[in-house]
């Protein structure tokens, strides 16, 4: 590969977050063609028919939309692929083979006639890793090569890639999945040489890549890796509200070209804003030593922000506010900065779609808490005595338990409390087990005298395995030794005597530490 102009340099849409609109995806066909991005791989984590529900077909409406998108890329002569994740597969047998034949060999994949197919094993639980042990890589290789056989029967020119469960050397993965099985990476070196291996580098979200680290992993895989570059992606919860990655690629030396088989970039959840940095990726390899990030930033911002009026106001705004975009929530004047950014954006001339994305990002980066102390809403939580008397909003943060609502009664009768948790589709689209709303009721024992119950927390499970997607708890009379905790809409309630049972401090959960309610004084139920 001498430049990204003639081989695989492109986009892999592999983020957690709302799926781009059909119009945006179709627009990306011409964007890729005009910016020397030769490949587009569709694989958003919110499309469950490529993940948890991989054995099921897309509904007719969704599939017709995908066919339109696929046709647009074909017309633009841009390779179109998908990232398919057989979720939590822990064996390779006749049952798995039949399921793969039904799905990959079915009418929908035949009609899509993919140019590229990525098989991802990054969606996996620690239980599967522990259960399979040293057999994990072999199972995944067998599944991948079986999919390869099926797809080649549809399109003999399809290019294949695989994402191992341990797709980076980052200790974060070992923390989530457990220690890497013995010889796991070396075993992947035995997979069919025609199958590329996607690799995110020494970190899941790296600042860059070195030739030395790439050569080291190439030796294990016995081939040149293809980079899955998690830039400019901003889907981690701590990044969505704080970061708009508009600056060009840095830390990726052009000499990588001799050590990799391709370079795919994972975009932000904002499709049009992503075009600014994405357009600079192939220029690393075409411009080589002449690639100067500052100049590329100016060029790309002016190109994509001008709009039909060819006005540079919006581009100049983005250039001038670069540091605010990159570290918004870490600023001591966070609230005032957002207010300034919002006010300055309102009357600017430029590309309307980019302007709209910036306005939406700033909206969700702001809170009614004001003064720079708040964080974006993770979920709207309705707590009531089943008559919708109280609405609270929780904010993302990591920390200890917090009081969401206080419940006291005027009688000593048991009381049924209704709880409804609705995910914010912008900041927490996939964190409630891919369900946008969860509802449950809790029957609390009677209160005596001046006793009160306090709803002390909502925990959102970030893991993707089929387990309880959320948790909440009640404590009696502000007593830290008596908690009620519910782990799912049908799982009931259990008492915990140990406060640590409800602390839920592992990184698999998110918490709220600031609550905003309407009206300002939290009503009692």
* pLDDT per position as a tens digit, 42-71: 999 989 999 999 999 999 999 999 999 999
Mean pLDDT of 368-381: 38
Q: Which of 3-17, 129-143, 486-500 has the lowest mean pLDDT?
A: 486-500
pLDDT value at position 310?
Answer: 83
CA dihedral 199, 204, 205, 209 (to 10 degrees): -40
Tell whether the torsion through CA atoms of 269, 73, 3 and 195 is positive or negative: positive
The pLDDT confidence band at residue 36, using thresholds 50, 70 and 90, is very high
pLDDT value at position 361?
Answer: 85
Identify the residue with better confidence: 404 or 120: 120
The pLDDT confidence band at residue 286, using thresholds 50, 70 and 90, is very high
Mean pLDDT of 453-480: 47
Residue 284 has pLDDT above 70, yes or no: yes
User: Model's pTM, two decimal places?
Assistant: 0.75
Query: Does residue 338 sit in helix, strand or coil?
Result: helix
Share of the chain above pLDDT 70, in %: 65
What's the token pair of residue 361? Answer: 């990002």
The pLDDT confidence band at residue 156, using thresholds 50, 70 and 90, is very high
Share of the chain above pLDDT 90, in %: 56
Integer Rg of the chain from CA: 25
Mean pLDDT of 103-128: 95
Identify the residue with better confidence: 213 or 7: 213
Q: How far apart are the first and last CA of the chain?
A: 66
Mean pLDDT of 383-407: 41
pLDDT value at position 104?
Answer: 97
The pLDDT confidence band at residue 336, using thresholds 50, 70 and 90, is confident
pLDDT value at position 437?
Answer: 57
pLDDT value at position 506?
Answer: 23
As a whole number, the mean pLDDT across the chain is 77
Identify the residue with better confidence: 520 or 3: 3
Cis geometry, peptide bond prior to residue 232 (ω within 30 degrees of 0): yes
pLDDT value at position 152?
Answer: 96
Report whether 338 contacts 327 (CB < 8 A). no
pLDDT value at position 234?
Answer: 87
Mean pLDDT of 139-143: 98
C-alpha 162 chain-centroid distance? 19
- 440: which strand partners? 419
Mean pLDDT of 355-376: 62
Specify which of 369-373, 396-400, 440-444 reaches the highest per-range mean pLDDT.
440-444
């Amino acid at each position: 590969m001498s430049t990204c102009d003639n081989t695989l340099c492109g986009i892999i849409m592999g983020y957690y977050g709302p799926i781009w609109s059909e119009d945006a995806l179709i627009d990306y066909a011409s964007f890729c063609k005009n910016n020397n991005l030769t490949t587009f791989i569709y694989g958003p984590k919110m499309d469950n028919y490529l993940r948890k529900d991989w054995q099921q077909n897309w509904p007719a409406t969704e599939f017709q939309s995908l066919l339109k998108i696929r046709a647009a890329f074909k017309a633009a002569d841009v390779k179109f692929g998908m990232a398919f994740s057989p979720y939590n597969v822990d064996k390779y047998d006749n049952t798995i083979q039949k399921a793969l034949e039904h799905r990959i060999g079915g009418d929908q994949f035949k009609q899509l006639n993919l140019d590229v197919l990525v098989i991802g094993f990054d969606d996996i639980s620690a239980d599967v890793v522990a259960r399979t042990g040293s057999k994990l890589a072999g199972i995944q290789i067998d599944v991948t090569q079986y999919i390869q056989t099926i797809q080649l029967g549809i399109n003999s020119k399809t290019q294949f890639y695989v994402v191992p469960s341990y797709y980076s050397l980052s200790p974060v993965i070992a923390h989530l999945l457990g220690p890497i099985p013995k010889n796991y990476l070396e075993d992947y070196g035995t997979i069919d040489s025609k199958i590329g291996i996607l690799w995110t580098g020494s970190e899941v979200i790296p600042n860059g890549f070195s030739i030395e680290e790439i050569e080291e992993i190439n030796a294990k895989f016995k081939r040149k890796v293809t980079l899955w570059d998690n830039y400019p992606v901003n889907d981690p919860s701590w990044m969505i509200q704080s970061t708009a990655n508009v600056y060009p690629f840095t830390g990726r030396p052009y000499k990588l070209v001799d050590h990799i088989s391709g370079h795919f970039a994972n975009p932000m959840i904002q499709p049009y804003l992503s075009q600014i940095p994405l357009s600079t990726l192939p220029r690393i390899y075409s411009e080589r030593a002449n690639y100067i990030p500052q100049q590329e930033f100016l060029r790309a911002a002016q190109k994509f922000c001008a709009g039909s009026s060819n006005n540079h106001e919006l581009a100049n705004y983005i250039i001038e506010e670069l540091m605010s975009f990159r570290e918004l929530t870490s600023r001591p004047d966070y609230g005032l900065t957002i207010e300034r950014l919002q006010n300055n954006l309102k009357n600017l001339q430029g590309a309307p779609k980019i302007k709209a994305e910036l306005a939406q990002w700033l909206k969700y980066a702001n809170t009614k808490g004001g003064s720079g102390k708040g964080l974006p809403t993770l979920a709207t939580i309705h707590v009531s005595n089943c008559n919708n008397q109280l609405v609270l909003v929780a904010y993302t943060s990591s920390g200890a338990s917090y009081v969401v609502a206080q419940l006291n009664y005027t009688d000593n009768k048991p009381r049924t409390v209704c709880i409804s948790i609705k995910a914010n589709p912008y900041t927490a689209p996939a964190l409630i087990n891919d369900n946008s709303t969860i509802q449950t009721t809790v029957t609390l024992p009677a209160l005596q005298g001046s006793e009160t119950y306090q709803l002390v927390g909502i925990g959102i499970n970030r893991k993707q395995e089929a387990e309880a997607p959320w948790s909440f708890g009640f404590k009696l009379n502000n007593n830290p030794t008596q908690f009620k905790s519910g782990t799912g809409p049908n799982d009931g309630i259990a008492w915990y005597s140990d406060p640590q049972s409800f602390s839920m401090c592992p990184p698999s959960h998110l918490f709220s530490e600031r609550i905003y309610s309407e009206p300002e004084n939290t009503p009692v139920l």
